[in-house]
Amino acid sequence: MKKWLALITSVLLILTLVSCGTQAGAPGTTTTGPEAKPPVEIVNVSYDPTRELYANYNKLFQAYWKDKANQEVTITQSHAGSGSQARSVLEGNEADVVTLALEGDIDTLVTGGLIKAGYVNEFPNDSAPYTSTIVFLVRAGNPQNIQDWNDIVKPGVQIITPNPKTSGGACWNFLAAWAYALDLYAGDEVKTQQFLKDLFANVTVLDSGARGSTTTFVENKQGDVLLAWENEAFLAQKEHPGEYEIVIPSISILAQPTVAIVDAVVEKRGTSEVAAAYLEYLYSPEAQQLEAENYYRPSNQDILKKYADTFDLNLKLVNINDDFGGWTAAKAKYFVDGAIFDQIYKK
Amino acid sequence: MGISRNTRLRRHKSNNSVIPGFTLSLGVTLTMLSLIVMIPLASVAVVMTGYSLAEFWATLTDKMALHAYWVSLSCALTAAIINVVFGIMLAWVLVRYDFPGRRLLDGLIELPFALPTAVAGIALTTLYSDQGWIGSLFAPYGIKISYTTTGITLALVFIGIPFVVRSVQPVLEKLDRQTEEAAAILGASPFTTFRRVILPELLPAILTGFGLVLARGIGEYGSVVFIAGNIPYETQIAPLLIMVKLEQFNYAGATSIALVLIVLSFVILFTIHRLAGQIERRIKGGADT
């Protein structure tokens, strides 16, 4: 009996060792030299739909960092609505880097003194290594024949979108619809606001985050159309082949999910170097390729062109700085208490 | 009377209680209460400093907020009434009948407490949506459950089940069957016996359970947020409005609404506690004479 036990234990032990060995040896194949630095840990606080992207990217970066700096790095991920993630960091969730849905959320961390002003210019392309946009996800066969924004405000169409007050993605949804209507009514804001009012009158479930809305639309089968991040729409389509179609509206918005180093935290924890490398590497060709595979539009134009089959590169995109005067102005005009979004719901 | 009060006083002084030391136990109690209840509650007041009375009043009486209180209160009230009816029945079945699986059923009662509220919320939403197993049975009749106030009430009924059952059960167990037999012998019908003999004894416990379901329901967030459609002026609950304000870093606004919920719950619980106490005294007083 004891012999058996010993045998099983040793077999298990060997197996564990072997598996550990292959895991550690796989990326660089260089064995850890004498100058290997102690392992480091960083925390990446991100928003809802980036789960899959960063799960893949972290592996890529770990291999890269092992090779480059000869250091093991563990990355802890955290995902939720972009706004609540910013708040959690502000309230003491120690993130080394934040990769949130919009600049406006990171701005609150600047106000809170955790990030130095001017972070937007720290990395290329307004610190947005990948972009996305807002598209419609409809059920197979497009039974309501939804082609553009004016189709979804028709009576009887049920829309699923998250609440712009709690979700970054929903802010983009709102602004994209606004841009379309403003163009339609040749700049008449009163009519544009009425258009948005009609749109939100068709919203049947207003979840607090983008993932929640996807679940409502996909799993609980609510609504006719989901206003979604392009990447989220592709993901839903991939996971449920044949059940959904993506409809590209005539106008949408260039959604720039912004990344930043949380200066106060990296200084305290001594992780500045690895945190900066983590965000910088998002712009490398390998990472850009990975982002495209996860349905984010890479900022590297050459790589983006390679994925022209996936992304509609002719889609007319407005952007937050030129068309809405930046996030601070947009928030004040549309989303703070009593602003346009609240007026839309006022009875 | 005078004698009994004297003996009580003496017993207090002679310190033969199970828990040692009146001062020590009171000290521990007060410390615990302050750390866990009073200080966090007081911090509410701290957050509010710098918020002018006019702003505070504007937030409280904002139409959207008023509607959110109404949704929370009306759903919690309905859930409490439903739970009282079914809670008494459940407790009755568990105490008065012996059937296979009784212990299992008894154990299941607490499950709504053990389950993370989010899990309960998501499960209920999926089951009761018009495409779900149960919801699809109602959908042909035009009854929508998930994403309506009916759904919110359902979630509150679910999380409130243990309160009424567990407050009524022990009282029912201790109830002297002889009084029921006496009532029957004196010619009372089963309904009269229940109404005049059993119900008065149970009333304080029922009220306590009712108050707990109501107070919990007013503040419940986790299980409700998934099943509510969260549409302002329709299915937006007050706790969600708190979250919305927090997300916008409007701490004072969020706290104002929290304050309303705290006061509301406290008034409800306090009133019910007093009422239950009065009824209990009346029953006891009646029994003595």
ipTM: 0.77
Q: Which fold has domain A134-254+315-345?
A: D-Maltodextrin-Binding Protein; domain 2 (3.40.190)
Candidate from B131, B229, B243 with C-beta closest to A166:
B243
Note whether B114 and B248 are within 8 A (CB). Answer: no
Note whether A261 and A115 are within 8 A (CB). Answer: yes
User: Which residues does B83 contact at the CB level (< 8 Å), separation at least 6?
Assistant: B157, B160, B161, B163, B164, B209, B210, B213
Asked if the structure places residue B283 within a domain, the reply is yes
Report the CATH number at residue B251: 1.10.3720.10
Mutate to test the interface with A, among B247, B249, B250, B257 (most CBs of A within 10 A): B247
Mutate to test the interface with B, among A84, A206, A214, A224 (most CBs of B within 10 A): A206
Kindly state whether A158 is in contact with chain B, defined as any CB-CB distance less than 8 angstroms.
Answer: no
Note whether A260 and A122 are within 8 A (CB). Answer: yes
Q: Could you write out the DSSP letters of every residue in A95-159?
A: -SEEE-S-HHHHHHHHHTTSS-TTGGGTSHHHH-SEEB-EEEEEETT-TT---SHHHHTSTT--E
Nearest Cα residue to B265 out of B34, B29, B37:
B37
Residue of chain A minimizing CA distance to B227? A205
Domain count, chain B: 1
Q: How far apart are CA B227 and CA B222, in angstroms?
A: 10
Domain parsing of chain A, residue ranges = 39-131+256-306, 134-254+315-345
> What percent of chain B shows pLDDT beyond 90?
52
Chain A with chain B: Cβ pairs closer than 8 A? 63
- For residue A88, the distance in angstroms to the closest alpha carbon of chain B comes to 10
Tell which wins on pLDDT, B56 or A99: A99
Please indicate whether, in this complex, the C-beta atoms of A222 and B147 are within 8 angstroms of each other: yes
Q: How far apart are CA A173 and CA A251, in angstroms?
A: 11
Asked if the structure places residue B154 within a domain, the reply is yes
Place of tokens 């702003």: B55
Q: Which fold has domain A39-131+256-306?
A: D-Maltodextrin-Binding Protein; domain 2 (3.40.190)
H helices present in A149-188, as ranges:
149-152, 168-184
Kindly state whether B225 is in contact with chain A, defined as any CB-CB distance less than 8 angstroms.
Answer: yes
Question: So what's the pLDDT on residue B15?
Answer: 52
Would A39-131+256-306 and A134-254+315-345 be classified into the same CATH topology? yes
Domain range for B205 is: 51-288
Note whether B208 and B162 are within 8 A (CB). Answer: no
User: Which residues does B44 contact at the CB level (< 8 Å), separation at least 6?
Assistant: B255, B258, B259, B262
Asked if the structure places residue B33 within a domain, the reply is no
Asked if the structure places residue B13 within a domain, the reply is no
Mutate to test the interface with A, among B146, B225, B231, B241 (most CBs of A within 10 A): B231
Q: pLDDT band at residue B39, thresholds of 50, 70 and 90? A: confident
Global confidence as pTM: 0.81
- For residue B67, the distance in angstroms to the closest alpha carbon of chain A comes to 11
Dihedral over Cα of A328, A331, A337, A340: its sign:
positive
Q: What is the pLDDT along chain A (347 residues), one digit of tens a residue?
A: 455 555 555 555 555 444 444 443 334 444 444 567 899 999 999 998 899 999 999 999 999 999 999 999 999 999 988 888 998 999 889 999 999 998 989 999 999 999 999 999 999 999 999 999 999 999 999 999 999 999 999 999 999 999 998 888 899 999 999 999 999 999 999 999 999 999 999 999 999 888 889 999 999 999 999 999 999 999 999 999 999 999 999 999 999 999 999 999 999 999 999 999 999 999 999 999 999 999 999 999 999 999 999 999 999 999 999 999 998 899 999 998 889 999 999 87
Q: CB-side exposure of B191: number of CA atoms within 13 Å?
A: 0
Dihedral over Cα of B86, B87, B89, B93: its sign:
positive
Q: What is the DSSP letter of B250?
A: -
